Structure formats: structure tokens, C-alpha cells
Amino acid sequence: MRALVWHGKEDIRCDTVTDPEIEQPRDAIVKVTSCAICGSDLHLFHNFIPAMLPGDVMGHEMMGEVVEVGSEARGKLKKGDRVVVPFTIICGECDQCRRGNFSVCQTTNRKKDLADKVFGHATAGLFGYTHLTGGYPGGQAEYLRVPFADATHIKVPDGIPDEKVLFLGDIFPTGWQAAVQCDIQPTDTVAIWGCGPVGQMAIRSAVLLGAKQVIAIDHLPERLEMAEAGGAITINFDEESVVERLNELTGGEGPEKCIDAVGMEAHVSPSMPDTVYDRAKQMLGAESDRPHILREMIYVCRPAGVISIPGVYGGLVDKIPMGQLMNKGLTIRAGQTHVNRWTDDLLHRIEEGQIDPSFVITHTVGLDEGPEMYKVFRDKQDSCIKVVLKP
């Protein structure tokens, strides 16, 4: 089959690889009808997250049709079922799964020893996301093996286009969880850094959850426009001071709730000197991530506020103002998304017409064009916001 394969830094190719097969009784094979490129894939593209190996198949946002079911998954899935595949591989039975903490499932990471060493304790297996999370082949491919498929799926009804439900596997619940973690009150201002696909979903989620005011920060005009269409007041960080503007919009008090939808690769600019410092340290191998957003959020957040972090961080960050964080009594909530915790509710909201996540798609192309689209998405060429691939 054809698949997008990681060969090294900034080197992803559309190769012919071996078709996946049922390996375990709980497996299923899905014929992928749509998949997407996620901001998290860019961190792998740039080789910022360790433990990718040449030959790894990319992709963790995908859906399709079940074409084969292992003997122990048969009660829950059958040939012909239409499923979105969550990026988190879950057993549905361990203590964490029972609590709904699916992204830290204790069973599915088959490289647990490695992950235990690096993180202290292993997290769940993830599709197409390094050997720290199991080294499972991803879904930017014609076919996908879904391990623990009896639990690892979201059934979707026929008749809804792929585009409307595809993002249930990642960015929609990610933006939603980011907002839910803020415990939004009707009096709250929610500030969201980053108007990429995750930021866009967080904006719409914060609006749906009843925030008084949602403020979105980025510097790309087309993304700010989309944020505004979603109900946010926007701040262009190239044109004005984010901290001053946020304080102005909140009567000098700062936003109660802050969401980091940027993560480890904050934009580098001399107008934000700490980002130049981080870039230099990154080049020396002395810091793995660029945590500008964390510093800015901690500084501007209202005392007793919440910092919610869906943005991915890979390793060690420097110069985090613990004094501000501690003395202001801020709460930090973070995590890879517990996808299946939210998807029943979110599917209903899509079916009821409360939201149509396809608004974020700007490009739809074949799998062969995937390697090129990684660059277009990374460089925000052609006003690219979200790429869908059709294998």
C-alpha cells in the first residue's frame, strides 16, 4: 500500500510499504478514506520529538471503513463499520481507562520500558507518534492496523461526510478538552494563543461553553480572520503587545483562563527576545522546546486563574517563572487528549448542527501530494490552515 513515511528531519515520502495485517485478536484493519496532517506532525517533521525511526508511517488523525476484524474485536466491530480512529490507542479496561484518562492508558504502549525511563511512567500508545508511544504505524496510509480496536474507535453513522467527523479523532476533542480544563464561568475571559486548527477548535469550544469573552492571538491574517468568524476578539502579536492588549481588554486584570494552542515551536522573532534565546539553546542541544507562550501566559494570567496546555511539549524547558506561577496561585492543566472521553458528546453536537468542524479545512489532496503538503502547512503557504489527504 501507499503511505507517508518518515525518513529523517524534513524528509517525509510517499512510499510503498507492506500492507498491515491482523496481528492480535483485538485488532482491526481499517481502509482509510480520509486523514489529516496535524500540528503535532510538524514537531516530528522537524525532528524535535525523539524516538522516530526511518521507515515509521506518519499520521494520527484518520477515519475509514473496517475491512477486517480480529476474533476478540468482533462483538464490537464488524466489516463495513464506519469509524473515526482516535489518535490514542486505548484498552478500555485498565485503571486509567476506567477513569476516562485515555491518553495515559496503562496497557497499550508496547514500548513501555523506554517510556518509563523517559517520562517516569509510560503513557498510552499513539498512532504514528514515535517509539516513546509505542512506535505504532500511523494512518496517513491506505490501510491502518488498529490495535485494541474493540475499544479504540468512534463509530460514526453513514450519511455524514468524512470532513464533518474526521476531526473527532484529534483536533476537535483537543480544543474541547483545552476549554473544558479551564472550567469556564459565564464571567470569564478566555485567551487562546495560536489560531492553528487546535486554536480554532478551542475558540469555538470556549464560545460553546459560554465564556464571556474569547480572545485569540496569532499573526497570520487568515487564521485571525477565521478566529474572528468563530466569535473571538483577535490580537496580532506582530502589531501590538499581547500583554498590554490582554490587560486592556480585561479592565487591567488579565484573562482568567489561558490556553496554549501553540506548544513547543513558538514563533521566533527579535521582538520577543526570549524566543531568540530559546532558539540558540535549542541549536546547542541545551533546551528541547521554546516555551515563550508558557512564560507569557503565566505573566498575564489573572491571579487564581487556569493555564490549560493542549500544545505539545517534548522535553525540557528553561526560564519558567515559577515565582509568578506559585505566588499568583495559578493552576496548570495539560495533556494529550483523552479523545474518547469527549467524542459521544461531540458527535451529538455535530449531528445537532451546533458545530461543523470542517470549517477549518483549506486543502484537500491525494496521499501522493502529502510530502509537499507538509511544507505548505508548515510554511503557511497558500493560506493553508488544515490539510485533508484522501488515500
Ligand X SMILES: NC(=O)c1ccc[n+]([C@@H]2O[C@H](COP(=O)([O-])OP(=O)(O)OC[C@H]3O[C@@H](n4cnc5c(N)ncnc54)[C@H](O)[C@@H]3O)[C@@H](O)[C@H]2O)c1
Binding site for ligand X (CB under 6 A): 38-40, 42-43, 170-171, 174, 193-199, 217-220, 223, 237, 261-263, 266-267, 292-293, 310-312, 336-337
Question: Which of Zn ion, ligand X, none has residue 261 at its interface (CB below 5 to 8 Å by kind)?
Answer: ligand X
Cα–Cα distance measured from residue 18 to residue 341, given in angstroms and rounded to the nearest whole number: 33
Q: How far is the CB of 2 from Zn ion (least distance, A)?
A: 21
Q: What are phi and psi of 77, to 5 degrees?
A: -135, 150
Kindly state the cell numbers that stand for 118: 523517559
Minimum CB distance to Zn ion, residue 248 (Å):
33
CB 328 to ligand X: min, Å = 20
What is the residue whose three cell numbers read 458545530? Answer: 355
Stretch of 109-117, 128-136, 168-176, 348-356 contacting Zn ion, by CB under 5 A: 168-176
* Rg of the chain on CA atoms, in Å: 20
Q: How far is the CB of 24 from Zn ion (least distance, A)?
A: 15
- Minimal distance in Å, beta carbon 255 to Zn ion? 25
| 175 and 310 Cβ atoms separated by less than 8 Å | yes
Provide, rounded to whole angstroms, the least separation between the CB of residue 126 and Zn ion. 9
Grid cell for residue 97: 481507562
Cα-to-chain-centroid distance, residue 206? 16
Minimum Å distance from CB 382 to Zn ion?
21
Residue 154 Cβ vs ligand X, minimum distance, rounded to whole Å: 15
Measured from the CB atom, is 29 or 203 closer to ligand X? 203
Q: Is 40 an interacting residue with respect to Zn ion (CB under 5 A)? A: yes
Q: How far is CA 75 from CA 25, 66, 78, 334, in A?
A: 12, 13, 8, 34
Q: Which is nearer to ligand X, 17 or 334 (CB)?
A: 334
Give burial (CB, 10 Å; 0-12/13-18/19+) of 120. exposed
Taking residues 102 to 141 in sequence order and writing x for each that binds Zn ion by CB under 5 A, - otherwise, the string is ---x-x----------------------------------
- CB closer to ligand X out of 40 and 340: 40
202 touches Zn ion by CB under 5 A: no
Looking at the Cβ atoms of 74 and 378, the one nearer to ligand X is 378
**Smaller CB separation from ligand X, 201 or 325:** 201
Would you say 64 or 194 has its CB closer to ligand X?
A: 194
Burial status of residue 190 (CB atoms within 10 A of its CB: 0-12, 13-18, 19 or more): buried
237 binds, among Zn ion, ligand X, none (CB under 5 to 8 A by kind): ligand X
Q: Report the alpha-carbon distance of residue 282 to residue 303 in Å, rounded.
A: 31
Tell me which of ligand X, Zn ion, none is bound by residue 330, counting a contact when its beta carbon lies within the kind-specific cut-off of 5 to 8 angstroms: none
Binding-site partner at residue 91 among ligand X, Zn ion, none, CB < 5 to 8 Å by type: Zn ion
The answer to the question of residue 170 lying near Zn ion (CB under 5 A) is yes
Q: Measure CA 261 to chain center.
A: 9
Q: For 181-321, where are the alpha helices, taking DSSP H only?
A: 197-208, 221-229, 242-249, 273-283, 292-300
Binding status of residue 38 toward Zn ion by CB under 5 A: yes
Are 309 and 334 in contact by the 8 Å Cβ rule? The answer is yes
Burial 345-377 (b: 16+ CB within 10 A, else e): ebbebbeeeebebbbbbbbbeebebbbebbebb
The residue within the footprint of Zn ion, chosen from 3, 57, 69, 91 (CB under 5 A), is: 91
Contact set with Zn ion (CB under 5 A): 38, 40, 91, 94, 97, 105, 107, 170
